[in-house]
Amino acid sequence: MRIIKYGNPILRMKAKPVDIQSDGIHSLTEQMFVTMREDGGIGLAAPQVAVSQSFFVIDMSLINDGGEPTAIINPQIVDTKGESTVEEGCLSIPDIREDVIRPETIRVRYQDINGNNYDREIDGLEARVFQHEIDHLNGVLFIDRIGPMKRKLLQKKLKQIAEEESQYL
């Protein structure tokens, strides 16, 4: 699968809720696990592979011993606590990393690939990845969450990425 880049309008769309029974989700998530691994990401949202549906994959082996690549479906953040600053990057915005301030702890509801429901409080790196990927499902990118001055300094790089991406549109 090709990861679409900044400038592709699909990254700005709000993803549609997933029906686990009917949307070919099993095959899509398997392909996304492979793409995430190949590109060295810890998370990958469906819109990044041009699928505007509300799910993402996360490589839990990079978070917990014994964790595995996991699909997180129809996630909703229902509560947040605290604040932390962490440097983020994104496979759709290559070669740019910036500090992003987000809540430290979130309570999140979602489904897994078998339709089981979860309601969990998470923090640390896992909460960070969830928030970054859930942003993707809402058409939001991490560069939207940095200060206007910093973003201004990135304009040239971003324009370059968008120009390269335009050949695929």
What residues act catalytically?
133
CA atoms within 13 A on the CB side of 78: 10
Backbone angles phi, psi at 165, to 5 degrees: -65, -30
Nearer to Ni ion, 116 or 160 (CB): 160
- Residue 46 makes contact with Ni ion by CB under 5 A: no
- Residue 137 makes contact with Ni ion by CB under 5 A: no
Q: Which of 18, 90, 127, 129 binds Ni ion (CB under 5 A)?
A: 90
Query: Within 10 A of 136 (CB to CB), how many other CB atoms are there?
Result: 22
Dist. CA 168–CA 43, nearest whole Å: 23
- Taking the complex as a whole, how short is the minimal distance between the CB of residue 136 and Ni ion, in angstroms? 6
Residues for the chain: how many in total? 169
- Taking the complex as a whole, how short is the minimal distance between the CB of residue 47 and Ni ion, in angstroms? 9
Nearer to Ni ion, 20 or 89 (CB): 89
Positions that interact with Ni ion (CB under 5 A): 90
